Structure 1
Amino acid sequence: MTFGEQPAYLRVAGDLRQKIVEGSLPPHTRLPSQARIREEYGVSDTVALEARKVLMAEGLVEGRSGSGTYVRERPVPRRISRSGYRPSSGANLFRQEQAEQGARSTWASRSEQEAASAEIAARLDVEIGARVMRTRYVFRDGGEATMLSTSWEPLSVTGRTPVMLPEEGPLGGRGVVERMAAIDVIVDNVSEEVGARPGLAEELLALGGVPGHVVMVVERTYYASGRAVETADVVVLADRFRVAYHLPVK
Structure 2
Amino acid sequence: MPREAPYLDVADALRARIAAGEWVVGERLPSRARLAEEYGVGRNVTQRAMDRLIAEGLLEGRAGSGTYVRKPRDRRRMVRSRHRERRGGSPFRADMRENGRTGTWEARSEARTPAPSEIAERLAIELGELCVVTRYEFLADGQPVQLSQSWEPMAITGDTPIVLPEMGPLAGMGVVERMRSIGVRVETAVEIPRPARATQEQANLLGISLGDLVLLIERTYYDGGGRPVETADIVVPDVRWEVAYEFGVERG
TM-score (normalised: structure 1): 0.84
Conservation of the 8 A alpha-carbon contact between 2:57 and 2:73 = no
Match of 1:93 in 2: 91
1:192 aligns with 2:220: no
Which residue does the alignment assign to 2:242? Answer: 242
| 5+ long unaligned stretches in structure 2 | none
Within the candidate set 71, 74, 92, 2:72 is matched to 74
Q: Distance in 1 between matches of 2:139 and 2:183?
A: 33
Percent identity over paired residues: 47
Structure 1 residues 157 and 30: CA distance shift in structure 2, 3 A: same
Q: Give the match for residue 83 of structure 1.
A: 81
CA distance in 2, matches of 1:45, 1:247: 45
Unaligned runs of 5+ in 1: none
Query: What displacement does 1:137 show?
Result: 0.7
Query: What is the aligned partner in structure 2 of residue 103 from structure 1?
Result: 101
Asked if structure 2 preserves the Cα contact closer than 8 Å seen for 1:196 and 1:238, the reply is no
Q: How many residues align?
A: 247
Match of 2:145 in 1: 146
1:25-84 Cα shifts (integer Å, max 9, x gaps): 343222234465356445566765665455456654334456543122232332221221
1: CA distance, partners of 2:249 / 2:51: 46
1:136 aligned partner: 135
Partner of 1:183: 182
In 1, Cα distance between equivalents of 2:125 and 2:18 = 49
Q: Retained in 1: the 8 A contact 2:148–2:234?
A: yes
CA distance in 2: counterparts of 1:46 and 1:231, whole angstroms: 40
- What residue in structure 2 maps to residue 214 of structure 1? 213
CA distance in 1, matches of 2:72, 2:220: 32
Question: Would you say the 8 A contact 1:82–1:245 is kept in 2?
Answer: yes
SS in 2 for 1:4: coil
The answer as to whether partners of 2:220 and 2:231 remain within 8 angstroms in 1 is yes
State the partner residue of 1:170.
169
Q: What value does the CA root-mean-square deviation take over the aligned residues?
A: 2.7
Residue 31 of structure 1 aligns with an amino acid whose one-letter code is L
1:59–1:212 contact (8 Å) kept in structure 2:
no
In the alignment, the residues of structure 2 paired with residue 28 and residue 175 of structure 1 have an alpha-carbon distance, to the nearest angstrom, of 42
How far off is 1:120 after superposition?
0.7
**TM-score (normalised: structure 2):** 0.84
CA distance in 2, matches of 1:245, 1:53: 27
User: Could you tell me which residue of structure 1 aligns to residue 16 of structure 2?
Assistant: 18
Q: Is the CA contact 2:55–2:213 (under 8 Å) kept in the aligned structure 1?
A: no
